[in-house]
Structures are given as structure tokens and as C-alpha cells.
């Protein structure tokens, strides 16, 4: 009888031990599960942040590319009328033509970079940027002149800049014909400009920025 009681007690103790071990294992499992869930949530958060960073960076770049000239104009306010108020440079002005041209080059280079980013990245905030570029081109004889005189320096964005410069399609075509003639003996550049005219004439309802995308895809 005593042996049976001892065996029963041992059996009960063993069962209790198994239950205890099971509970401990379950507790550890729950902690591991909770830790795994936290790691997953952290990874998801980091992924969302990493996805958002390029957009933020592109927005920051867009702001920089379309407002970088403001810093220069704050330091040199006498240049402002040439880029905001339709003032054309004339002999005898207190500012040199070279300085006005340098400012025009800065603006157009930044605008060209903004257009290429807009064409390459859907997240780039193109709306509003095209308005800024259009405003300056239509209120600055210096910008318009520099664009036409240095058109070969903007092989990917030149056509888009011409479109933003003008009010109507015939004006864009007239600019392109002028540029074809101005290419002179540079056969390669002349053919490139003729190709831009053909492209423009076959894409009647295409947004200006799309022409930058087309030329980037074609490589010229």
C-alpha cells in the first residue's frame, strides 16, 4: 500500500513537472513570438521610411534646383530685374553682360537638372516646377537668348525648355527652324535639331516634360 502511494505521488509529481516545463516553454515561446512580431513591425517601419526617403530627397532636390538662384539674387539684387521683370541687358548698364549670362546659365542648368529628374522619377514633383521654369523663361530676355545661343548644351531638355518658353506651338516650331539654320556647318547638330522638330510635330498633345523623357530614352 505504501509503495502504491509512493508510485502515485511520483506519477503526480512527474505530471506536474511536465506541466510546469510545458508552461515555461509556452512562456518562452510567447516571448519569442512577441519579439518576432516586434522585429517584423520594426522592419516594416524601416521599409516604409526607406521608401519615403527617396521621395523626400527628390522633393528637397526639386526645391534646391528651382530656388538655388534666389540665394545669388539676394547677394546681387541688381540682377533680379533681368530674370523677373523682362528687363533686357543693354550697353551702358551697371552690370556686365557676362554676369547676366552667368546668372542665366545657372538658372538654365538648374532647370535642366530639374526636368531630367522629373522625367526619370515619377515621384519628382514636376507640377509647379514647370510653372516656375515657364515664368522665368517668359520674363527674362537673358534666359531666352542664352537658351537659343547655347541650345546644344541642353541636348536632353532643350525642346522642353522651348515649349515652356513659348505660348503656342507655331512659336516652338519657329524657334526650332531658327536653331536648325543657326547650326550652320555642324551637320550632326543640325540633324539633331531637325529630329527634335519632327518629334515635336508628331506629338501634338504631349506634355512638355514628356519630350525630355523621349530624348533621354533616345539618347539625344
Report which of residues 219 and 156 the model is more confident about: 156
Give the pLDDT confidence score for residue 179 in this predicted structure. 97
pLDDT digits (tens, 9 = 90+) for 69-107: 677 778 889 999 999 999 999 999 999 999 999 999 989
pLDDT band at 159 (very low <50, low <70, confident <90, very high): very high
| pLDDT above 80 (res 177) | yes
Rounded distance between C-alpha atoms, residue 73 and residue 95, angstroms = 13
The whole-number pLDDT of residue 48 equals 52
Place of cell 516650331: 173
Is the predicted pLDDT of residue 49 greater than 50, yes or no?
no
CA atoms of 133 and 129, how far apart (whole Å): 6
Amino acid at each position: 500500500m505504501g509503495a502504491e502511494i509512493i508510485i502515485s505521488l511520483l506519477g503526480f509529481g512527474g505530471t506536474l513537472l511536465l506541466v510546469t516545463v510545458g508552461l515555461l516553454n509556452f512562456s518562452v515561446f510567447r516571448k519569442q513570438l512577441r519579439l518576432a512580431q516586434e522585429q517584423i513591425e520594426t522592419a516594416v517601419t524601416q521599409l516604409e521610411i526607406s521608401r519615403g526617403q527617396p521621395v523626400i530627397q527628390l522633393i528637397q532636390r526639386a526645391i534646391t534646383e528651382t530656388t538655388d538662384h534666389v540665394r545669388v539674387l539676394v547677394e546681387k539684387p541688381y540682377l533680379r530685374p533681368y530674370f523677373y521683370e523682362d528687363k533686357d541687358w543693354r550697353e551702358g548698364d551697371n552690370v556686365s553682360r557676362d554676369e547676366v549670362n552667368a546668372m542665366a546659365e545657372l538658372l538654365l542648368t538648374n532647370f535642366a537638372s530639374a526636368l531630367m529628374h522629373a522625367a526619370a522619377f515619377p515621384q519628382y514633383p514636376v507640377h509647379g516646377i514647370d510653372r516656375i521654369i515657364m515664368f522665368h523663361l517668359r520674363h527674362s530676355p537673358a534666359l531666352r537668348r542664352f537658351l537659343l545661343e547655347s541650345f546644344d548644351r541642353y541636348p536632353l531638355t532643350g525642346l522642353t525648355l522651348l515649349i515652356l518658353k513659348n505660348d503656342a506651338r507655331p512659336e516652338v516650331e519657329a524657334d526650332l527652324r531658327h536653331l536648325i539654320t543657326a547650326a550652320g556647318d555642324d551637320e550632326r547638330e543640325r540633324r539633331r535639331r531637325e529630329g527634335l522638330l519632327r518629334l515635336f510635330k508628331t506629338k501634338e498633345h504631349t506634355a512638355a516634360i514628356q519630350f525630355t523623357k523621349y530624348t533621354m530614352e533616345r539618347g539625344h
